[in-house]
Structure 1
Amino acid sequence: MFIEPMLLATAPGPFSHSNYIFEPKVDGHRLIYSQQSGIIRLYTRHNNDCSRQYPELLLPFDDDIILDGEVACVDPATGISDFEEIMTRFQAKRTDKIERFRQTKPATFVIFDVLQYKGRDLRQLPLMERKAILSNLALPGPSFGVVPYIEGAGDELFEQVRAWGMEGMVGKRKNSQYVSRRSDAWQKVINWSYAEVFITGYCKEEFGWLTAVPDGAGRLRSTGIIEHGPGTKEKKAFYGVTKSIILGEDKNFIYLEPRIRAEVKMRNWTKSGLLRSPVFTRFII
């Protein structure tokens, strides 16, 4: 049984409040674990069945249950999750590859909420009552864990998140019920990284600016596409300037002389040297 997950609003920055608990944000993908009449199914936030991809998570609890959390590949040495590793797991289709990844890239289900238990719908209970139920569950194996939280001290937790290089944190109102939509009762604060890039072109169809950085040998290497961030004013200024610095084009892109520099915020650098989820913040004059 799939339940549409509760989604996070975005907080303007770190905050502390006595009416909130704060959790580290795990860098994986959302997972709904459903055990009904002893049958276990795993679902993504978009209701895609991903049970095959994570055989180590097909272990039963003591009774029927529906849980919400993140599935992640966690580095045992640092405790930090690796988004690229879990995406490799998620995209694997062949049985032999899934079994190999089970050994080399083990997945962990990190639980932060319980939605049903022993046939009882818990979503109308306040969050702290659901947390109490969750804390008393016997986990079925070492591939399961529960997200820790602290009460009130969001600013202090975020400083630790930054020091550890984690994705961010989530603040949740203690009395919040579980609703299957985006809600201000749960707010995320992302631990952004920042970089300076050259804008070397733009997409002809949908909005997108090509980016590059120096490679250390006097050349530029591509770092991906900015798809979010600039407002109408920035876009107008950009396209006004680009007319005089066009180098060429192909079917999809207009290419520019690397004269425009910008600051972007991003989740992190990928292992292949690309910006992960870059957002334009400002032009650098």
Structure 2
Amino acid sequence: MEPMLATPAARTGALPRGPQWAYEVKWDGVRALADTTTGVLRLWSRGGRDVTPAYPELSGLVDLPGTVLDGEVVLLDGGRPSFAALAERMHVRDPRRTAAFARSRPVTYLVFDVLRVAGTDVTSRAYDERRALLDGLPLPDRVQLSPVYPDGDELWAVTAEHGLEGVVAKRRSSVYRPGVRSADWVKSAHQHHRTALVVGWREETSGSGRLGAVLLGAHDADGRLRYLGRAGSGLTGALATALHAAVTAQPRDTCPFDDDVPPLDARGTRWCAPVVVVDTRYLNRTPTGRLRQPVVRGVRTDTDPDPWEQQ
């Protein structure tokens, strides 16, 4: 089971307009399908991984039998979703630790679509019909409907003002197409985000032995590992510790990239197998595909890395 995906807008803020479109906030969290069709709750990540144990506070979803919901798991910090705060707990599976997190920093599941209701497949119904079905569901604690807005330009301005990630436009007549990146959904973010592979790392220049920067990469359509750039921002605290442990467990003697790495970036780099996935935020990409001002936001185990072509 895979979620439907949105197509990036041609340029930042260039969302489709007109009464045939509805607009939703693009939330800064983790995409998840909530599935109760087997009689128990399963939360599936975008990559098809079972992430149910990480979020025990969402267990009330089991009271919606035979249903599959699509939404975003977010952790609100000061009233706004914080991916950094969510990253602290999204990989935890120990029941005692997840229970403690659920009490101290509970997540919210923001639902924006439905694939199945009480055993009936509704993916062939129009977006507006599916939203009407969502309105009639008795959602449990920690689960909310993601609001729908009629004016994309106004929502774009409001999300920018409040520091939210962006906006998704959805064609009101569109069906739900699992696993398809469709032009019926168009997304635009105020800042760019992508997942990337960690391919090398460097220590802090102080000689402390701590992680100072990582070299990022992505596979292109031909399977070649391409260089995205070096990122040092965001590597602090628990994230730096966890990422350091992950990359040092996958050492390589030679550079895995299939294209050239600038000598300044390669100097002092320790290479690792390209298996660790991180979430990044960046300003834009250069003509050669490098990320400008990348910031590492967290390790991802719930999804695959974005391809080289993904902006």
CA displacement 1:158-181 (0-9 Å, x = unmatched): 000000000111000000100011
Percent of aligned positions that are identical? 26
**Counterpart residue number, 2:164:** 166
Quick check: 1:149 aligned with 2:151?
A: no
Q: Which whole-Å CA distance do the structure 1 matches of 2:187 and 2:93 have between them?
A: 32
Structure 2 counterpart of 1:70, from 69, 72, 76? 72
**1:247 positional shift:** 9.5
Q: Which whole-Å CA distance do the structure 2 matches of 1:212 and 1:192 have between them?
A: 18
Which structure has the bigger radius of gyration? 1
**1:42 positional shift:** 1.1
Equivalent residues of 2:215, 2:230 under 8 A apart: yes
CA pair 172-144 structure 1, distance change in 2 beyond 3 A: same
Equivalent residues of 2:216, 2:231 under 8 A apart: no
CA pair 64-202 structure 1, distance change in 2 beyond 3 A: closer
Q: Which whole-Å CA distance do the structure 2 matches of 1:85 and 1:32 have between them?
A: 21
Amino acid at match of 1:57: L
Q: How does 1:68-217 map to 2 (within 5 A)?
A: 68-75=70-77, 77-78=78-79, 80-141=80-141, 143-151=142-150, 153-180=151-178, 181-192=180-191, 206-211=226-231
Q: CA RMSD in A?
A: 3.3
Partner secondary structure for residue 86 of structure 1: helix
Q: Which whole-Å CA distance do the structure 2 matches of 1:163 and 1:156 have between them?
A: 11
Amino acid at match of 1:163: E
CA pair 84-185 structure 1, distance change in 2 beyond 3 A: same
**1:208 positional shift:** 3.5
Amino acid at match of 2:76: V
CA pair 149-201 structure 1, distance change in 2 beyond 3 A: closer
Partner secondary structure for residue 137 of structure 1: coil
Q: Which whole-Å CA distance do the structure 1 matches of 2:94 and 2:182 have between them?
A: 37
Amino acid at match of 2:108: T
CA pair 247-149 structure 1, distance change in 2 beyond 3 A: closer
**1:212 positional shift:** 6.0
Q: Which whole-Å CA distance do the structure 2 matches of 1:6 and 1:264 have between them?
A: 26
Q: Which whole-Å CA distance do the structure 1 matches of 2:45 and 2:230 have between them?
A: 30
**1:265 positional shift:** 5.6
**Counterpart residue number, 1:31:** 32
**1:19 positional shift:** 1.2
CA pair 251-21 structure 1, distance change in 2 beyond 3 A: same
Partner secondary structure for residue 101 of structure 2: helix
Q: Which whole-Å CA distance do the structure 1 matches of 2:270 and 2:160 have between them?
A: 41
Amino acid at match of 2:2: E
Equivalent residues of 2:54, 2:93 under 8 A apart: yes
**Counterpart residue number, 1:42:** 43
Amino acid at match of 1:148: P
CA pair 92-18 structure 1, distance change in 2 beyond 3 A: same
Amino acid at match of 2:170: K
Equivalent residues of 2:123, 2:177 under 8 A apart: yes
**1:210 positional shift:** 2.3
Equivalent residues of 1:192, 1:265 under 8 A apart: no
Partner secondary structure for residue 128 of structure 1: helix
Amino acid at match of 2:44: Y
Paired residue total: 228
**1:266 positional shift:** 6.8
Q: Which whole-Å CA distance do the structure 2 matches of 1:266 and 1:167 have between them?
A: 17
Structure 2 counterpart of 1:61, from 40, 48, 63? 63
Partner secondary structure for residue 175 of structure 2: coil
| TM-score normalised by length of structure 2 | 0.64
Q: Which whole-Å CA distance do the structure 1 matches of 2:47 and 2:214 have between them?
A: 33
Q: Which whole-Å CA distance do the structure 1 matches of 2:20 and 2:35 have between them?
A: 30
**Counterpart residue number, 2:21:** 20
Q: How does 1:215-254 map to 2 (within 5 A)?
A: 248-252=267-271
Amino acid at match of 1:129: E
Q: Which whole-Å CA distance do the structure 2 matches of 1:126 and 1:248 have between them?
A: 55
CA pair 52-155 structure 1, distance change in 2 beyond 3 A: same
**1:183 positional shift:** 0.6
